[in-house]
Amino acid sequence: MGVSEVKTESNKKDVGVDAGIRFERVYLEGADVKRCGKLGKGVKVVAKVDMRVFTRSTKRRAYVREVFKITGIPEGREKPLYKMEFGMVAEYKTSREIGDKEENELASDRGMRDIFPYARDFVQAMTVSMGMPSLVMVGYSPEWANSCR
């Protein structure tokens, strides 16, 4: 799968741990989506979400990568209905080299806030395109994100 990218002027603001870090873009980095079965009428699907965070920085760039693993399991069954694994990357322009503390702060909250709306849209679009009920992920909160890690 190629790289999908969203970049708008309105979201290019100085944000984060200090004004020297500027949000640039979010892009999809690899996706593996599998439909494993058929859904009967009136069956509720429970989604299990697992997320992992990776960070990297260079002199003028910082990257936050979130890897999502989502498994849709029909209620009362063990066999999954679908599985998704994908990575999304938020890229930031920095005015200077950032340290480990700033990198961790960026990854722990700001990166996820920038990535989450795109991840939520991707998940919803994929479930619908597989002919499954639309999976709408709850709004982002640090508590929810921590429960998935």
One-character DSSP codes across 69-132? EEEEEETT-SS-SEEEEEEEEEEEEESS---HHHHHHIIIIIHHHHHHHHHHHHHHHHHHHTTS
| Per-residue pLDDT reduced to its tens digit, 15-59 | 445 558 889 999 999 899 988 877 766 667 777 777 788 888 888
Question: Strand, coil or helix: what is 52?
Answer: strand
For the chain, what are the domain ranges?
4-135
| Per-residue pLDDT reduced to its tens digit, 57-91 | 888 888 999 898 888 888 888 888 888 999 999 99
CATH node for 4-135? 3.10.420.10
pLDDT at 24: 93
